[in-house]
Amino acid sequence: MIDTICGWTNETWGKGLIAGTLIIVGATHFGWLSGVADTSVPVFGNVGNVMGWVAIIGGACLLGACCISPEVTE
C-alpha cells in the first residue's frame, strides 16, 4: 500500500511537483508569490490546499524512504 501511495515521488514529474511546491511554499513564507497560494483551482479549492497535501504526503513518503527501515513498513 505504501508503494501505491508513495510511488509518484520516484517519478520525474513527482520530483518536479515536490520541488515546485517547496519553492512556492518558501517564497510565500517570505512574502513573495503570496497570491499564488490563493489562486483558485476548480477541483481542489485553491493552490494553497494542493501545496499542503503535496507537502504532507510527499514529505512523509520521502522521510519514510530515507529514514525508516523496511521492516517497519512491511
CA distance 18 to 61: 11
Per-residue pLDDT reduced to its tens digit, 12-46: 999 999 999 999 888 988 888 878 878 888 887 88
Mean pLDDT score of the chain, rounded to an integer?
85
CA distance 21 to 23: 5
Q: At 36, list the grid cell.
A: 499564488
Q: Which residues pair with 46 in a beta bridge?
A: 40
pLDDT of the residue at 57: 92
47 sits in which H/E element: helix 47-67
Per-residue pLDDT, averaged over 7-11, amounts to: 89
Give Cα separations from 39 to 35, 47, 48, 53, 61 (angstroms): 7, 6, 8, 16, 26
- Which span out of 15-19, 32-36, 47-51, 65-69 was modeled with the highest average pLDDT? 15-19
pLDDT of the residue at 64: 87
Look up the pTM and report it. Answer: 0.74
Q: Domain segments of the chain: what residues? A: 2-73
